[in-house]
Amino acid sequence: MTALPQARSALPAALFWLIVLLGALAAYSLHNFARGLERAAQEERIEGYAAALTQRLGSYENLLQATQAFWLSSNPSQAEFETFVAGLSLPERYPAVQGVAFYSWEEGAGKSRQARITHIAPATAQNMAILGYDGYADPPRRNAMDLAASSGAPQLTPLLKIRQQEAHGGHAAGFVYFLPVKRGERVLGLVAVGVRLDRLTEQLGLVEANQRQEAVSLYLDGRLIFPANGRAERQSLSGELPGLGGHDWSLRYDPSRVPVTPFGLFPALILGLSLVAAAMTYRLTRAQAEAEQTLRLSNHSLHESQGRLEQSRAEFAAVFQAIQDGAVFTDLSGRIRLTNQAFSRQLAAEPRELLGHNVSEWHLDSRLGGSRVRGRDHALPPARRHLFYG
């Protein structure tokens, strides 16, 4: 087949790429819109986690204040302290709390100081094993104790290893919250709450969030504390909680790993549909262009055939009229359809007067009419009646 004209052959491809481009632009715009909605929803969830963290740390401060008030009112024994803590329902209300303790504040000679655990509850084997532990000997605990004693406000340690030993022999990561117990200006000691990080993050819903691929991370004073394998450099700041427990907390998430909602699948669907539409348009326009080209070629061939036919007719007419002998063309019934000039002169008649008459009217051949001479008075005047053979 003759190649399509350049302009017409380029149209299907141009329409294909135009539809693909428009589909890609629509998919890109919808993608940005969908991701914006997903990020907004993620930031709203981050704010929810931040509010939950604030509420949870606030509940630990309330627990410390209740324990402080109890201690000032009764100076309890270990058994009384255990009874008090049992009434707090720690496993149900404070599942992340490992235990509640009282550190006795002891001033030594010079500037020496000790803060030993004298009371602790619940009375589990893990907790009872650390009775007598001097928390003041550990720098992170000592700094938190000093800040709490000087300010009179709850003070949280940085992330550290909780003193209680796990069944496998290790120590869980967590925090210790301190609140001083004073009579006047004299520090009697500090009540403390040990908080496990793994249970806290699980209670806040951060563990489940990461299982859903939300990539939420928890920071304390700019240090990543959850998850342990998080990548700080790829995360965006979302929720800040400055000064909470004496530290700056923040919750962050990785925008590249924001969960895709069902609405977020629409860009891919639109792009796929645009490719299908582009392919169908290409096939249809290509078929149309080829059909038009075929029609043009057919019309051109027809015009050429008509020209050759007209030329053949003209050549035939010239040859036919130039014949010196009379000649006619008839149909199957013998009616004259065409005569040459010689035949017309022979019968002394105009060609148009002969058309439609049966040739047997003038031809002496019995096969053409059944008699050798037949006349038609009404057709030709007497002077024009002639007979011929041939």
Report pLDDT digits (tens) over 125-161: 999 999 999 999 999 999 999 999 999 999 999 999 9
Q: Residue 110: which pLDDT band, with cuts at 50, 70 and 90?
A: low
Q: How many helices (H) and strands (E) does the chain have?
A: 11, 12
Taking the domains of the chain in order of start, what are their residue ranges?
8-74+254-319, 76-201, 323-384
Contact assessment for residue 320 and residue 327, using Cβ atoms and an 8 Å cutoff: yes
Give residue 19's Cα distance to chain centre. Answer: 19
Residue 102 has pLDDT above 70, yes or no: yes
| Residue 264 pLDDT grade (very low, low, confident, very high; cuts 50, 70, 90) | low
pLDDT at 367: 58
Cα–Cα distance measured from residue 378 to residue 45, given in angstroms and rounded to the nearest whole number: 113
CA 173 to chain centre: 39
The CA dihedral of 16, 18, 19, 20, to the nearest 10 degrees, is 80
Q: Which residues contact 189 (CB under 8 A, 6 or more apart)?
A: 71, 102, 103, 104, 105, 115, 118, 180, 181
Beta bridge partners of 120: 101
The strand ranges marked E within the chain are 97-107, 113-121, 155-156, 160-165, 171-183, 186-196, 216-220, 223-226, 236-244, 247-253, 328-330, 336-339
The DSSP code sequence of 198-258 is: HHHHHHHTHHHHHHTT--EEEEETTEEEESTT--GGG-EEEEEEEEETTEEEEEEE-GGGP
CB atoms within 10 A of CB 216: 28
For 192-220, write each residue's pLDDT tens digit: 999 999 999 999 998 888 787 777 889 99
Read off the amino acid at residue 244.
L
Residue 321: the pLDDT is 83
| The most confident of 101-115, 137-151, 246-260, 370-384, by mean pLDDT | 137-151
Cα–Cα distance measured from residue 119 to residue 81, given in angstroms and rounded to the nearest whole number: 7
Mean pLDDT on 19-42? 75
Report the pLDDT averaged over residues 45-73. 93
Contacts of 368 (CB under 8 A, 6+ apart): 334, 358, 359, 360
**293-302: average pLDDT:** 84
Q: Tell me the three state secondary structure of residue 332.
A: coil
- Tell me the pLDDT band of 9, cut-offs 50, 70 and 90: low
pLDDT class for 90, splitting at 50, 70, 90? very high
Taking all residues of the chain, what is their mean pLDDT, rounded to a whole number?
Answer: 82
- Three-point CA angle 113, 114, 119, nearest 5°: 150
pLDDT at residue 234 is higher than 60: no
Cα separation of 198 and 219, whole Å?
14
H helical segments located in 75-180: 78-86, 90-93, 125-128, 139-151
Query: What per-residue confidence (pLDDT) applies to 167?
Result: 84
Tell me if residue 348 falls in helix, strand or coil.
Answer: coil
Architecture of domain 76-201: 2-Layer Sandwich (3.30)
Contacts of 233 (CB under 8 A, 6+ apart): none
